[in-house]
Amino acid sequence: MSPQTLGYLLSGCALLSFTAAILLTKKASSLLPMGLGFLIATATNVLFAALAFGAHLAAGHEMPQWNGTAMACFAGAGVLSTYLGRWFFYESVVLWGPAKASVFQVSNPLFTALVAWLALGEVLPASTFLGMAMAVAGLILISVNPMQAGAQAAGSAQASTRQAGAGLWARWRSSILVLGLGSALAYSLGNVLRGAAIRDWNEPLLGGLLGALSGLLLHFCVMPDKRQLLGQLRQAPPLGVWLFALLGTVTIAGQIFSIAAMRYVPIAITNLVSLCSPLLVIPLSRLFYKNAGKTTPDVVLGAVLTVAGVGWVLMR
């Protein structure tokens, strides 16, 4: 198997993992508060990555050599992706549902390509950008109109408070533009840091573990009511705890697959493949959550454009 083919295969595994995470978030968040669930998922990130790295060493692999720069990049990526990006994204899933939330990520490959070009000098051919543009346009077409939904949510937030300041904060906090672009930018910066680190230090398991640790520590530091944490865990529904734990497992698995793929293919292309989740999320969310909707010409055209765009990129 060629390195490029391996990179595409790893990106596909990341796609499946992230799709499962989106679908799990909607169900899990209906059982537990998001703050507590986020902590459980992030703690599971650390546990799963640590177990995977331990198994890697137990299989006979040597302890990696120290690389301070790469380790700092992985830790910084954890702050950006594991904490900031995921917080924005989880909030969008809760407020807008899995189908709408998945379309927030369509700008991620373009942001990543821009940042990778500016920071790492990673230049992609014009034909690759054409395929990426086709895929992004398709992903937008197969989703609902998020701007209209965002305006409705902002109006509801404004009506729910009598204080102008609180209303402004509520509108910003629930704005699809703020949540979507905040998530995409945080993930893009984190992905570029991971791509830079994995090319100098080929340790995707340890890199995933370092990122998960930094994200968990940051979340624990800023979360309120730490003293009530044990009590909240005791009172939490077991199903909600297990669902968030499963969510953390599939999320860190997707991150590790994505990190490993970045060693073999450009960072932006890894992003493009792994974040084509709307192709899977929209039909699966309708199946699992009984979401209303029908297959319209826009959805069909969007699916064709997305598949054609991704196929064009991979063939180039």
Instruction: Write out pLDDT tens, residues 187-212.
Output: 888 989 999 999 889 999 999 999 99
- Rounded to a whole number of angstroms, the CA Rg of the chain reads 19
What's the rounded mean pLDDT across residues 280-287? 77
Tokens of 269: 């292309």
- For 8, the token pair is 């595409």
Q: What is the pLDDT of residue 246?
A: 96
Residue found by looking up tokens 């890199």 in the block: 207
Q: Where are the alpha helices (DSSP H) in 201-237?
A: 204-222, 229-235
Instruction: Give residues with Cβ within 8 angstroms of 161, minimum separation 6.
Output: 167, 170
Residues contacting 95, CB < 8 A, separation 6+: 153, 174, 179
DSSP-derived secondary structure letter, 66: P
Q: Which amino acid is at 224?
A: P
For residue 97, the 8-state DSSP code is: -
Give the chain's length. Answer: 316
Locate 38 and state its tokens: 């986020």
Is the model more confident about 143 or about 213? 213
Q: What is the pTM (predicted TM-score) of this model?
A: 0.78
Over range 86-94, report the average pLDDT.
72
d(CA 130, CA 316): 11
Most confident of 66-80, 219-233, 275-289: 66-80
Contact 176/256 with Cβ under 8 angstroms? no
Alpha-carbon gap, residue 126 to 130, rounded angstroms? 6
User: 119 with 282: CB under 8 angstroms?
Assistant: no
- Among 263, 282, 197, 259, CA closest to 45: 259
Angle ∠(88,103,166) on CA atoms, nearest 5? 40
Domain range for 103 is 3-315
What confidence score (pLDDT) does residue 120 get? 85
Q: How far apart are the C-alpha atoms of 44 and 46, rounded to whole Å? A: 5
The band of 182, judged by pLDDT with boundaries at 50, 70 and 90, is confident
**Which position has the higher pLDDT, 110 or 43?**
43
Alpha-carbon torsion, ordered 32, 36, 37, 38, to 10 deg: 150
C-alpha distances out from residue 169 to 151, 164, 296, Å: 14, 9, 36
> Would you place residue 301 in the very low, low, confident or very high pLDDT band (cuts 50, 70, 90)?
confident
Sign of the torsion angle spanned by Cα atoms 278, 281, 287, 292? negative
Are the beta carbons of 20 and 250 closer than 8 angstroms?
yes
Cα 64 → chain centroid: 27
Q: Is the pLDDT of residue 128 over 70?
A: yes
Which residue do the tokens 């992903």 mark? 139
Could you give the number of structural domains in the chain?
Answer: 1
Q: Is 158 exposed, middle or buried (0-12, 13-18, 19+ CB in 10 A)?
A: middle
**Mean per-residue pLDDT of the chain:** 79
pLDDT at 307 over 70: yes
Tokens 């490959």 label which residue?
109
Q: Give residue 293's region: left, alpha or beta (phi > 0; psi -120 to 50).
A: left
pLDDT for residue 293 is more than 70: no
Of 307, 247, 279, nearest to 93 by C-alpha is 247
